[in-house]
Structure 1
Amino acid sequence: MTTMVDACASFTFARLNRILGFKCSPKQPHFFNCSYSCERKPIRSDSSIERTLAEIERSRVIACLRAQSREEAMKAAQAALSGGISVLEITMTTPGVFEVLHGLVQQHPEAILGVGTVLNVMDAKIAIKAGAKFLMSPATVKGIIDYVHRSEILYIPGAMTPTEVLNAYEDGARIVKVYPVSALGGVKYFSALKKSFSHIPLVASQGMTLDSMRMYIDQGAASVVLSDAIFDKEAMDRRAYDEIRRLACLAAGHGK
């Protein structure tokens, strides 16, 4: 039976389809032509959710994009993907996030694209309809865990304490984001948490730099979330997309 949330989600996505202004092409825009040689390797898996989880753990990097406009989001995302990033999260605070996601999915079907800061089931449903392969939250939203259960969409809930990590995992999460890890004590806190939950894949999130990301990986992080380390605020303000591409290339290399 169709629920009110289902109906609203379908209506919203129908509106998005009508207002999408992206003419997608598999070719990269001309302003990304450069000498870097960072390329994504093909990912192979029978299951979509297993493929998503495997690539997150293989690449060790989830690029987190927050942009001020639709155009900025598209160009910054293109730069990061062309720099070798294979897993990209666009936050709900980005204007036109679902249209941006839909356009990127058409251009980069091989990439693992998702939506971050998802706080309710309505937004989760619209994100999935727009093509998201994973969803991420700063906290654990039980309704989203229940909604994606037995689906091919990976949900990465956020957790801060040992109790929250364990509860999220026992509720059905395949992987849990430790957030805000830098504010909680950084690498030392993450390391202590990981020792207690060696069986739970953990993502380190908040305050990561290119220099610190390797320390989290060495302490058992399945992946790290990089935001400003790739989408540098000054570079975003200047629309210096070649610089974003360069930082993405460095991040992709650090994750290997």
Structure 2
Amino acid sequence: MECGRTIGSVSRSPRTPSSPVRQTTIPLQHPSRNPLHATSAALPQTLTQIHKAGVIACLRAQNVKTAVEAAHAALAGGVSVLEIVINTPGALEAIKVLCKDYPSVKFGVGTVLNIEDARKAEKAGAQFLMSPCTVMEILHWFRGSEILYIPGAMTPTEIFSAYNAGAEAVKIYPVSALGGEKYISTLRKPFPTIPMIASQGITAESIGKYINAGTSAVVISDAIFNKDAMIKEDFDEIQRLAHLVTLEASLARKGDSKIKQ
């Protein structure tokens, strides 16, 4: 078919020299990035703690007070890595408070979809950021900085593209809709060196299956922050569930001292 030929009522013509061409730009560099080192020393610490914990507790709440109280309960139950979803009212305020109260815990912000929110989360004290997809602007900005950005990916192409672009770990989302731990096991064959974090629909009972399949950690939401418990503000129940989840992760990690990198 020749260019310019009319198909029905649609005419296709070749691009002329005056046609607009998309311009590419060099990503801005994060102020804390050290050009002599590809990765900040803070990143291995965060990755190691995530792997050691085996669980990232994902918190959504109706207000900042409930978010802080629920976080206190989860941490009392043994959680050592916790993210607060950014659309929780007062999420960044909660991060500020929690970072001061628990200096040994790694706190992050989840569902970050643009660079503006990412920078706000960093300013609030977040040590890691997560997205359900890969936001390249965020990935480029924080690469080599003190903040760990974990982008989301679904397909093998997306996973490899995110890792090849500089992601230190990749969140596999929505994992249960893709086949659960069997999907993780399948992905480990072509990608044995990519740290993967499974997210979506994971229960306390399935943590061991995901870790045995090769995940560095799993994201747990409702299995800790039960919806009814959150509505009723039953923080004792949240603490109990957090203890159950962290115990399951600890048992799955038993005898596994090798960091999956």
TM-score range, shorter chain: 0.7 to 0.9
Q: Give 5+ residue unaligned stretches, structure 2.
A: 1-29, 31-39, 251-261
SS at match of 2:204: coil
2:150 paired with 1:156: yes
User: Which structure has the bigger radius of gyration?
Assistant: 2
2:190 matches 1:196? yes
Identity among equivalent pairs (%): 54
- Regions of 4+ moved over 2 Å: none
Deviation at 1:47, TM superposition (A): 2.6
How big is each residue's C-alpha offset from its partner over 1:136-168, in whole Å with a ceiling of 9 and x where there is no partner?
Answer: 000000001111022111000000000000000
1:145 corresponds in structure 2 to: 139
| Correspondence for 1:74 among 49, 68, 77 | 68
Deviation at 1:93, TM superposition (A): 1.4
- State the SS of the aligned residue for 2:205: coil
Matched residue type, 1:208 = I
User: Which residue pairs with 2:43 in the alignment?
Assistant: 49
**Cα distance in 1 between the residues matched to 2:207 and 2:246:** 11
User: 1:84 is matched with which residue: 78, 83, 86?
Assistant: 78
Aligned-CA RMSD value = 1.2
Q: Is residue 227 from structure 1 mapped to residue 221 from structure 2 by the alignment?
A: yes
Aligned pair count reads: 212
Report the residue type matching 2:208 in the other structure.
R
Q: SS of the counterpart of 2:109?
A: strand
Question: Where does 1:21-60 land on structure 2 (aligned, <5 Å)?
Answer: 47-60=41-54
Q: Which runs of 5+ in 1 are unaligned?
A: 1-5, 7-45
Query: Is the contact made by 2:112 and 2:130 (CA closer than 8 Å) also made in structure 1?
Result: yes
The aligned residue for residue 15 of structure 1 is: none
2:100 aligned partner: 106
2:241 to 226, 240, 247: 247
Task: Find the aligned partners of 1:207 and 1:185 in 2 and give their Cα distance.
Answer: 11
What is the distance in 2 between the residues matched to 1:201 and 1:191? 13
Structure with the higher fraction of residues in helix conformation: 1
Partner of 2:257: none
- The amino acid across from 1:60 in the alignment is G
The CA distance in 1 between the partners of 2:249 and 2:78, in whole Å, is 11
Corresponding residue of 2:160: 166
Q: What CA distance in whole angstroms lies between the structure 1 residues aligned with 2:68 and 2:208?
A: 28
CA distance in 2, matches of 1:176, 1:198: 13
Q: Does 1:176 align with 2:170?
A: yes
Q: CA deviation at 1:82?
A: 1.1
123, 138, 145: which is aligned to 2:117?
123
